[in-house]
Amino acid sequence: MEEVSGIFHNYVLVVALLACFTAQGIKLIVELVKNRKINFRYLVTTGGMPSAHSALVGALATGIGQTMGWSSPEFAIACLFAVIVMYDAAGVRQAAGKQARLLNQIVDELFQEGHNLNEERLKELLGHTPFQVLVGLSLGISISMLSFHVL
């Protein structure tokens, strides 16, 4: 049981999860301001402002740099991992979301013409804009830096 309690004393893990959950909470607030209603799905959904993936990997890499050293191999690995995750969030998943939007449009037009197709729509908000990724990264780095002497 001591090993399990040690998880909660792992600064890098705690700060990364804190950054991720904070980003998801901010998404809920952003949607509340935009649409004037609370939609709790934004606490667990992908896409949107800011990128929770970027916040998580930004805080992870920063936390590793703070604890293991900025010139450590662990920090280098975390940075490269962060770049891959953020590239995927802004590139591959953003493109998949655009494709989903186009396919949904095609399906809508076919329904108007009377074709019989599956009515299930594809999820369009999969990825992030580069700005959403940058804000998420900044959030993660900030949370890690501010938490270093507190946690």
Residue 67 has pLDDT above 60, yes or no: yes
2-6, 66-70, 76-80, 119-123: range with lowest mean pLDDT: 119-123
Closest by alpha carbon to 19, among 111, 123, 147, 149? 147
Taking Cα atoms as reference points, which of 1, 12, 127 lies closest to residue 65?
A: 12
Q: How many domains does the chain have?
A: 1
CA distance 10 to 22: 18
pTM for this model (two decimals): 0.77
The Cα angle at residue 70 between residues 64 and 74, in degrees rounded to 5: 50
* Sequence-ordered list of residues with C-beta below 8 angstroms from that of 87, at least 6 positions apart, any chain: none
Domain that holds residue 30: 2-147
> Minimum mean pLDDT among 1-10, 51-60, 73-82, 111-120: which range?
111-120
Residue-wise pLDDT tens digits, 38-66: 877 777 777 788 999 999 999 999 999 99
Q: What is the pLDDT of residue 139?
A: 97
pLDDT value of residue 129: 84
pLDDT of residue 134: 95
